[in-house]
Chains A and B, each alone.
Chain A
């Protein structure tokens, strides 16, 4: 690849080829083949479609795409008939697949009850099917990083080029100096999406300014947070976008060698990256004298062996060097002394995913999205007790409430939101009353959580906050590298205290001890794994202290999660005659109800004293 003209020519040719395919009256069937789709059975679905097409002797283009974000609807299948709108079907089983082929592909009739949405403007006859723009899940999102995910075939560089891919790379290498590229990224306000939010342009500049005959650029794809899958989905759905971002970064800082450090537990992402790198080499986006600029770049994949701590940049580099993945003190920062002692720029997958957009559309356009301090968008893995789980990309500054109730569709019926856990195992739990908190780096930090890489778990009243804190701390404790004292020893002691609180053996003073230890670990740990490990505990103590107290003083788990603890009393709605005797004896006013109607006990107020149960004439009250 020598010039922009050559790239645009190629893009036009590919465009013609793709258009020809459409004109050729060939139906196109696209199966969502991200890890999420495959886990839900997409391989079976794909096989069923192939068999059915063969049986019917239909000449159709059967292809694949990455994750579009609607995890709860997997497996997803798109059908596009020549000249018609592309229709997305959800939860497509083998039987559904057969039916879709027969009715839609052969019979030209959309299977309305399985269809979720249609692409395009909605100028279709069948108005029962909403367009993507009608879907709350999509119309509140702003997809910059995920623009191609779920749309194009991630194993086809042609489709990436046809969508405008590698144009930013060409622009940067041909018409911009490295300094101009860095200035553009700095102006865009892009900050690291790995969690800490360090200004990306500044990081590039620092690496560029360190003199060295050899520099490296590294993509941190060691996504280890439980429940987080932003990076995996992007790598599986649009690997070239990440690679393009890395090439631009490498050019800007003067690195000729790059590594993508990706966890071995992501075999599909690794395979698609391998394919993408081979294709990029074949097309001349990776190699020597790229676009005639004299700039050479080579890119390698390094598989991580599954240590959470290797997401920490100095541990990650130690791991690439073949050493045990253990963080080292900073300074020196990687921009000064990184991989093999050379200046190294290390960014997260999603950060690189933003780069091509900024170069192509300019810093202004990017800054128009998001807030002043936190520009652009953020991808979240929305999970837990929410109606629509999935992968979402929203402009910074959107509130948690908009994400959970707007995009996520709120809580399942009868459930009440209690807290949102954000930022992975090192993040914090944000209570219902702070749901109007805008999503940006500073607001989250002030609330005791952190942006983290983008995990977002919605919890309802069936969640015990002490137990949640214990769950996350157990994870970080067992993933601590064991190097520094506060993280290795301190988190263990915190975990033991949480264990005894959850088993009803909590002691007076345990909450204070947790606070003392937690703040000590945050302040004195060597790296940010330890530095943030106590966050789930500290934030739940901050917002749900009464739950801790109930466990310790009353030996009660309000959510009835912790085994061996007495739970709240509950009134059997079928047996209750609404006499009101219980209401009168309750010392805390926890029982409400209309006369002659079944009464209910507010479990937050219930002390488990049992007075109501003793009084009930029809034995409708029992402890859970």
Chain B
């Protein structure tokens, strides 16, 4: 028997060998507050908030890192345990700006919630009043900002960046009270090996790392009567934004999302799924040309801007493998300011393009200097899912009870293939549906790639078997790329998404109480795919008209000019 029996708060609990006291307690329905603990990350045991008392020895234990042992008698609510937890929260707050009103995370802040839950009051914090950390906030760049003074040094960002992404852009520096989390030599994100994926912000329990907000710029555009404001929403937003309004992760709220955007005053509401289909056509044909003309393989996808920056920093030698097709966000904006503007008779200078993304790296992508193919900056503003939710709340919209709206026309049609762009493996499946059908006229069977880590598949097209690999999380991607670099890779096609599970797990998504939120969002997208009448990108009638009326043919001259881009090696530390 590999079972352990212990007593927690007079409750007998049985767990398997190796489980921690925290896991045992939670399994028994006893919640212990935590701060540095995160289910997706290694154990740190640094915040000392999850203290419990071992009644045999009277010792206080950090339950998240203490293995459960046979015969243990644990109290999670003894006076000593409660006092220890509270005191550690008080100590954290004594070195915290406590500027909840001015903080993006007010309401979603774990420290704020714990302080309230544990009954911490102003007086118990003030008795420790003294020096506070005073470092300038770091706001260079386009995607992420850091406020070191709000940081509680739980290290979740450090672990996420190192363990999930393998990037290690953040680490601790300094000693004692001067210890902080920072980049190498305090350099801005743009000059270090940071993918700007925002996983650090996604795991931050407080407001120390957040996206650089563009809400006010968007309001300004909406308030400007001369501006024609066009918004696109990424596929994964429709299955996650409901969480901000109390719905379960994965709840499909496409109609309410459209309605809310219209109420906010956007002149046109579209889905990025339209241009996801466009991306599939372009990238699919790019792959077809690579395999028919025996060009260098593997082909590597390019729709994830976090991955693109990571490649530019770490694998500049492999950039020739990366698809030149722009991401759906960028294709969309370019088409809006060219084709759509002309067709609707609107001066493109007066068009303000906004995209709602699950992503922080998209904010960097829109600002890349090469993305001006329409003659203007193609995408003007990028909102994360969280930022849009804030705008909806600010406008006082009753999101849950909104009547469903519909996407606007001529770029409003979407396919199932495009919807699954929002999850790892989706791009691959969508692209191969088109590639196979274009080449052979046959339909592709479901790939059922799964969601975690590195997955692989073999796809038969016209008598040849292609080896496919899909990775999410950059640490996983690195394993595939090292093989490519060493010439050992057997793959013909590699899809990479920087964030775990793909965009459903993006750095701009709502903070979830559910540890399986990413899976549930992914299931939501699969559901959409299955319910769509058109499930293949090249069947999207609006995309077909776009080619007929404007672009000509995939990979044609116009496409090349407007829908493809280039990459450059970045010299970073």
* A residues less than 8 Å from B153 (CB atoms): 482-483, 485, 488
Instruction: Say whether, besides A329-B62, A482-B153, A489 and B92 are in contact (CB < 8 Å).
Output: yes
Task: Answer yes or no: A83 CB below 8 A from chain B CBs.
Answer: no
Partner of A482, one of B62, B65, B80, B174: B174
Interface-lining segment among A169-177, A519-527, A572-580: A519-527
B177–A485 contact, CB under 8 A?
no
* Cα(A488)–Cα(B176), bound, Å: 5
Beta-carbon nearest neighbor of B53 in chain A: A523
* Cα(A296)–Cα(B153), bound, Å: 43
Partner of A524, one of B65, B84, B128, B179: B84
A486–B67 contact, CB under 8 A?
no
Interface-lining segment among A402-410, A452-460, A473-481: A473-481
A492–B177 contact, CB under 8 A?
yes
Task: Answer yes or no: A46 CB below 8 A from chain B CBs.
Answer: no
Instruction: Say whether, besides A324-B171, A478-B176, A523-B60, A485 and B49 are in contact (CB < 8 Å).
Output: yes
A492–B131 contact, CB under 8 A?
yes
Counting chain A CB atoms within 10 Å of each CB, which of B44, B46, B49, B127 scores highest?
A: B46
* B residues less than 8 Å from A520 (CB atoms): 83-84, 87
B183 CB → nearest A CB, Å? 14
Beta-carbon nearest neighbor of A332 in chain B: B67
Task: Answer yes or no: B302 CB below 8 A from chain A CBs.
Answer: no
* Cα(A533)–Cα(B66), bound, Å: 22
Beta-carbon nearest neighbor of B69 in chain A: A331
* Cα(A18)–Cα(B412), bound, Å: 98
Instruction: Say whether, besides A520-B87, A524-B88, A525-B48, A480 and B175 are in contact (CB < 8 Å).
Output: yes
* Cα(A492)–Cα(B94), bound, Å: 11
Counting chain B CB atoms within 10 Å of each CB, which of A307, A492, A516 scores highest?
A: A492
Beta-carbon nearest neighbor of A308 in chain B: B175
Task: Answer yes or no: B416 CB below 8 A from chain A CBs.
Answer: no
Beta-carbon nearest neighbor of B177 in chain A: A492
A482–B172 contact, CB under 8 A?
yes
* Cα(A483)–Cα(B36), bound, Å: 11
* A residues less than 8 Å from B229 (CB atoms): none
Q: State the interface size on chain A (CB cutoff 8 A).
A: 32
B60–A477 contact, CB under 8 A?
no
Task: Answer yes or no: B59 CB below 8 A from chain A CBs.
Answer: yes
A481–B84 contact, CB under 8 A?
no
* Cα(A513)–Cα(B128), bound, Å: 9
Task: Answer yes or no: A276 CB below 8 A from chain B CBs.
Answer: no
Task: Answer yes or no: A43 CB below 8 A from chain B CBs.
Answer: no
* B residues less than 8 Å from A99 (CB atoms): none
Task: Answer yes or no: B119 CB below 8 A from chain A CBs.
Answer: no
* Cα(A511)–Cα(B272), bound, Å: 63
* A residues less than 8 Å from B176 (CB atoms): 477-480, 482, 488, 491-492
Task: Answer yes or no: B215 CB below 8 A from chain A CBs.
Answer: no
Task: Answer yes or no: A47 CB below 8 A from chain B CBs.
Answer: no
A523–B47 contact, CB under 8 A?
no
B43 CB → nearest A CB, Å? 7
A485–B45 contact, CB under 8 A?
no
* Cα(A523)–Cα(B59), bound, Å: 7
* Cα(A524)–Cα(B95), bound, Å: 18
A484–B59 contact, CB under 8 A?
no
A89 CB → nearest B CB, Å? 44
Task: Answer yes or no: B178 CB below 8 A from chain A CBs.
Answer: yes
* B residues less than 8 Å from A488 (CB atoms): 153, 176-177, 179
Interface digits, B40-83 against A, CB 8 Å rule (1 contact, 0 not)? 00011111110100000001101001110000000000001001
A486–B171 contact, CB under 8 A?
no
Task: Answer yes or no: A326 CB below 8 A from chain B CBs.
Answer: yes
B129 CB → nearest A CB, Å? 9
Instruction: Say whether, besides A483-B155, A496-B131, A489 and B95 are in contact (CB < 8 Å).
Output: yes
Task: Answer yes or no: A553 CB below 8 A from chain B CBs.
Answer: no
Instruction: Say whether, besides A479-B175, A523-B59, A523-B60, A484 and B48 are in contact (CB < 8 Å).
Output: yes
* Cα(A329)–Cα(B36), bound, Å: 13
- Bin the interface of chain B by size: 35 or more
* Cα(A525)–Cα(B67), bound, Å: 17
Counting chain B CB atoms within 10 Å of each CB, which of A326, A329, A489, A490 scores highest?
A: A489
Task: Answer yes or no: B130 CB below 8 A from chain A CBs.
Answer: yes
Task: Answer yes or no: B91 CB below 8 A from chain A CBs.
Answer: yes
Interface digits, A314-339 against B, CB 8 Å rule (1 contact, 0 not)? 00000000001010110100000000
B95–A307 contact, CB under 8 A?
no
A485–B172 contact, CB under 8 A?
no
B175–A478 contact, CB under 8 A?
yes
B179–A481 contact, CB under 8 A?
yes
B503 CB → nearest A CB, Å? 32
Beta-carbon nearest neighbor of B173 in chain A: A324
A489–B91 contact, CB under 8 A?
yes
A96 CB → nearest B CB, Å? 44
The B-contacting residues of A in range 54-68, CB under 8 angstroms, are none
Task: Answer yes or no: A360 CB below 8 A from chain B CBs.
Answer: no
Partner of B92, one of A483, A485, A525, A526: A485
A443 CB → nearest B CB, Å? 21
Task: Answer yes or no: A493 CB below 8 A from chain B CBs.
Answer: yes
* B residues less than 8 Å from A493 (CB atoms): 91, 94, 128, 130
A522 CB → nearest B CB, Å? 10
Instruction: Say whether, besides A490-B91, A520-B84, A307 and B175 are in contact (CB < 8 Å).
Output: yes
* Cα(A578)–Cα(B120), bound, Å: 61
A329–B45 contact, CB under 8 A?
yes
The B-contacting residues of A in range 117-135, CB under 8 angstroms, are none
The B-contacting residues of A in range 501-535, CB under 8 angstroms, are 513, 516-517, 520, 523-526
* B residues less than 8 Å from A516 (CB atoms): 87
* Cα(A249)–Cα(B299), bound, Å: 54
* Cα(A489)–Cα(B87), bound, Å: 11
B177 CB → nearest A CB, Å? 4
The A-contacting residues of B in range 484-538, CB under 8 angstroms, are none
Partner of B88, one of A329, A477, A480, A485: A485
Partner of B172, one of A326, A491, A492, A496: A326
* A residues less than 8 Å from B155 (CB atoms): 483
A484–B45 contact, CB under 8 A?
yes
* Cα(A523)–Cα(B67), bound, Å: 18
A496–B130 contact, CB under 8 A?
yes
Partner of A484, one of B46, B131, B178: B46
The A-contacting residues of B in range 223-280, CB under 8 angstroms, are none
* A residues less than 8 Å from B178 (CB atoms): 478, 482
* Cα(A141)–Cα(B65), bound, Å: 44
Instruction: Say whether, besides A329-B65, A523-B84, A524-B88, A481 and B47 are in contact (CB < 8 Å).
Output: no
B203 CB → nearest A CB, Å? 17
The A-contacting residues of B in range 410-440, CB under 8 angstroms, are none
Beta-carbon nearest neighbor of B152 in chain A: A485
B179–A482 contact, CB under 8 A?
yes
B68 CB → nearest A CB, Å? 12
* A residues less than 8 Å from B51 (CB atoms): 524
Beta-carbon nearest neighbor of B130 in chain A: A496
A331–B67 contact, CB under 8 A?
yes
* Cα(A513)–Cα(B51), bound, Å: 20
* Cα(A203)–Cα(B230), bound, Å: 68
A524–B60 contact, CB under 8 A?
yes
* B residues less than 8 Å from A486 (CB atoms): 48, 87-88, 91
B54 CB → nearest A CB, Å? 11
Instruction: Say whether, besides A485-B92, A488-B177, A493-B91, A328 and B45 are in contact (CB < 8 Å).
Output: yes
Counting chain B CB atoms within 10 Å of each CB, which of A477, A490, A523 scores highest?
A: A523
Give the 8 A-B residue pairs with the shortest CB-CB distance, closest first: A482-B179, A329-B45, A489-B91, A329-B65, A496-B130, A480-B176, A492-B177, A478-B176
Between-chain CB contacts (< 8 Å), 8 pairs? A307-B175, A481-B172, A481-B179, A482-B179, A485-B88, A489-B92, A492-B130, A525-B48
- If A485-B48, A496-B131 are given as contacts, then 14 extra A-B residue pairs at C-beta distance below 8 Å, sorted by A number, are A329-B62, A478-B178, A481-B172, A482-B153, A482-B177, A484-B48, A485-B46, A486-B48, A488-B179, A489-B92, A513-B127, A524-B84, A526-B45, A526-B62
Q: Which residues of A contact B (CB under 8 A)?
A: 307, 309, 324, 326, 328-329, 331, 477-486, 488-493, 496, 513, 516-517, 520, 523-526
